[in-house]
Amino acid sequence: MQNSALRIETILAKDLYTFYCNYVEHAEGQHISPISKYRALSQSKNPCAEEGDVGLLVAYIGERCVGYQGILPGWLRAPNGLAKVYWGTASYVLPEFRKRMVAVQLIRKLISLRKDLLVTYFNKPLADLFKGLHFEEIPPLEYVAVRMAGLDVASYPFHRFYRLQKRWPVLRKTAEGAIKLSRRWFYPSIRSAYYRSLVRQSERALENIRWQEAPAAKLSPEDGFGASDVVASFERNADVIRWMVEFPWIQDGGAVTSPPYFFSESYDSFRYMTVLLNDADGKQRGFVVLSRAVEKGLSKLKVLDFQSRREDYGKLFWLVCKYAAQFEADEIELPLQMESFAASLPFASLVMKREQRRYLCYPASKDSPLALALPSLTLHLTDGDSPFT
């Protein structure tokens, strides 16, 4: 009789690539892969992962993989020094096994590791599940999103009457068709004209400013990353940035994992860019790390990491604008520190919006480093697996 009991295997972070290779070699009959090749290779090189740190929980019924919970070890920088945290990433259970409480058992196994735990980028059903197992919500990260689709004023009336469209399906289909036509024929010309104006603004703002795009290797740990007035935050030093850039999870048109991996692993186009801000004598005085992704025709430019004196925030902002114009990005994601500069963009009321990213946590104990740091914790766009995806 086939064994139908659920079991969960624990894979160490340093062993992830070896696990992946063994899994796909013997994957006959499997319907999913618990990790992609790119993630496995990258996470096995994680400079935050020490010997014994867990990187993946895999649920089996018999010999069949039915779900998994990814784990990304990281560091919390608190007043008393560095402390280990585990970020939850890439949770998935096969639909036909969701009634068997597989996700609940994976989360319980995660809790049993007795580490400070955090998750972000979750949907409502998953958030409700985590909350039911005593994860707590912390104040969200606020950031700025600039979406050029707001310039598509021709489609604006069809978005405004969404409630009427819900009542009359014919009206909804008409509106959807009109929006598609506007996106195809009207919006690209408006976006191009907008960016031509933005290029002129950025060139004026960056006149006599020394900057260069450079390999992440140019960043050194001695540069003193992070703001000195931050009491507690998640550590992002030069070693972590170099790792992220050298071992991306998303590939530029790369091959797809087989058996399939549920989460994204290949975009139409994907790249990281490290841009340095220099003094007149060539000394580094700041930097910004960007990612540019194109998927299904939508181009996104994200600020992942940045550091400079406050008086240089504007310079970094205009560098971001210069790259956004070069790629004609449909969306730009900015840290909240650049909001005042984004508010000066043409038609800012149409394209700019402050948004939130929610987080849940499960401190290992009432006096764990995470529990003590929560009242003074500063969140950043890079926290969790965001910079990789």
Burial class of residue 228 in the structure, from the number of CB atoms within 10 Å of its CB (0-12 exposed, 13-18 middle, 19+ buried) = exposed
φ/ψ of 320, rounded to 5, equals: -60, -45
The one-digit pLDDT tens for each residue of the chain (389 residues) are 356 889 999 999 999 999 999 999 999 999 999 999 999 999 999 999 999 999 999 999 999 999 999 999 999 998 888 999 999 999 999 999 999 999 999 999 999 999 999 999 778 888 999 999 999 999 999 999 999 988 876 555 545 554 544 555 655 665 556 556 666 668 888 899 999 999 999 999 999 889 999 888 887 654 444 445 578 999 888 899 999 999 999 988 767 889 999 998 889 999 999 999 988 887 888 999 999 999 988 999 999 999 889 999 999 999 999 999 999 999 999 999 999 999 999 999 999 999 999 999 999 999 999 999 999 999 999 999 988 88
Burial of 71 from C-beta contacts in 10 A (0-12 / 13-18 / 19+):
buried
Give me the residue spans of the domains in the chain: 6-139, 144-356
* Domain 144-356 in this protein, CATH class: alpha beta
Tell me, which fold does domain 6-139 have in CATH? Aminopeptidase (3.40.630)
**The domains spanning 6-139 and 144-356 adopt the same CATH topology:** yes
Distance CA 53, CA 74 (A): 10
